[in-house]
Amino acid sequence: MSAQTVDGIYLDPIGTAEKAAAQIALRTGVGQHDLALVMGSGWVGAVDALGTPTHEFSAEEIIGFLPPAVEGHSGKIRSYEIAGANGPLRALVFLGRTHLYEGKGIEPVVHSTRTAVKAGCKIVILTNACGGIKTEYKVGQPVLIRDHISLTATSPLIGANFVDLTDLYSKRIRAIVKSEDNSLQEGVYVHWRGPTYETPAEIKMMRTMGADLVGMSTVPEAIAAHALGAEVLGISLVTNAAAGVTGEKLNHEEVIAAGKAAAQRMGALLKGVIPKLF
Ligand code: 8IG
């Protein structure tokens, strides 16, 4: 459903997110959700591990959400009840996301995250598929995001809002995830606007800067969630070696295939971690 816009900019992005949260509460009968998951390309299969949703609807039925633009992004919103260590949890799951490269501006990119926080979510789990810059990474390997580098020269925040990003990717949650799977590594994710993949020279630059992973999402959502007070977990699934790492060309089919192959492991990881978060 379209929100009120001027030149593609949401006039009142936080108010639009509040309206979207109210619509979701009406549709689900759930006044407050506890956590949100954004499932990126390659992660949609992992959601099966969460069980059967109590509700599912198309995101575009909710104010401010755009129709999906990428294969592997279904554009659905689901609500789940998940058993937690301290009682049942309500999870709001977004199957797919809007990316900066779609050219609609940054507001639709962060709308699901803001909606989730306005729906009550105290924790936002952002998943993505990405390119591996670090040469040791294998296709199909999940990596926790420890920190990021933004190369997009844009932010979801406007005005004199000097938000601290020192602990953007929650140390507390990363420790819980590593206690679930101690083979997990942590890395620095660099946000690239796309839609082109990088040149080999750009990947070399990123590696020199200290980046381990490269992708076209997650960073604006993490900032938007943190600015509204939510804790953030970012998990990347390496679905291809970044440009120039192996000499092979990059393609989206390989990304989808690597995601399918890893879906069961990623689902088990999420299922194991979520009950321990609250
Ligand atoms: I999947 O190699 C996936 N997304 N920028 N580079 C960038 N984004 C990606 C890549 C990649 N792989």
Residue 194 in contact with ligand 1 by CB distance below 6 A: yes
For residue 61, what pLDDT band results from cuts at 50, 70 and 90? very high
Looking from the CA of residue 243, the nearest atom of ligand 1 is 2
| Whether residue 1 has pLDDT greater than 70 | no
Pair of tokens at residue 261: 């192959």
Going by alpha carbons, the residue nearest to atom 5 of ligand 1 is 215
Q: What's the total number of domains in the chain?
A: 1
Q: Quick check: CB of 64 below 6 Å from ligand 1? A: no
The pLDDT, as a whole number, for residue 110 is: 97
Ligand 1 centroid to Cα of residue 126, in Å, is 16
User: Mean of the per-residue pLDDT values for the chain?
Assistant: 93
Please write the tens of the pLDDT for every residue from 181-211: 999 999 999 999 999 999 999 999 999 999 9
Nearest CA to ligand 1 atom 8: 215
Q: How far is CA 188 from CA 109, 121, 159, 214, 265, in A?
A: 21, 25, 27, 9, 22
- To the nearest 10°, report the CA torsion of 47, 97, 88, 180: 60
Which residues, other chains included, contact 171 with Cβ-Cβ below 8 Å and sequence gap of 6+? none
- For 92, list phi and psi in degrees, rounded to 5: -105, 120
* CATH classification of the domain holding 183: 3.40.50.1580
Of the candidates 57, 232, 41, 244, the one whose C-alpha atom is nearest the C-alpha of residue 132 is 244
Asked if residue 7 has pLDDT above 80, the reply is no
Indicate which atom in ligand 1 lies nearest the CA of residue 128.
Answer: 1
Q: Which of residues 126 and 1 earns the better pLDDT score? A: 126
User: Which percentage of the chain shows pLDDT scores above 70?
Assistant: 95
Tens digit of pLDDT for each residue in 32-53?
999 999 998 788 889 999 999 9
pTM, two decimal places: 0.95
- Give the residue numbers annotated as catalytic, written as ranges: 41, 73, 99, 101-102, 129, 216-217, 240, 252
> Which residue has a Cα nearest atom 3 of ligand 1?
130
Between these two residues, 5 and 53, which has the higher pLDDT value?
A: 53
Tokens standing for residue 1: 């459903």
Confidence of residue 106 (pLDDT cuts 50, 70, 90): very high
Q: Is 129 in the pocket of ligand 1 (CB under 6 A)?
A: yes
Residue nearest (by alpha carbon) to ligand 1 atom 2: 131
Could you list the residue range(s) of the whole structural domain that residue 157 is in?
A: 5-276
197 lines ligand 1 (CB under 6 A): yes
Which of 41, 70, 152, 240 gets mutated to test ligand 1 (max ligand atoms within 8 A of its CB)? Answer: 240
Reported as a single tens digit per residue, the pLDDT across 217-263 is 999 999 999 999 999 999 999 999 999 998 888 888 888 888 888 88
**In the prediction, which pLDDT does 5 show?**
65
Q: Note the pLDDT of residue 192.
A: 98
DSSP 178-239: HHH-TT-EEEEEEE---SS---HHHHHHHHHHT--EEESSSHHHHHHHHHTT-EEEEEEEEE
Which residue type does 165 have?
L
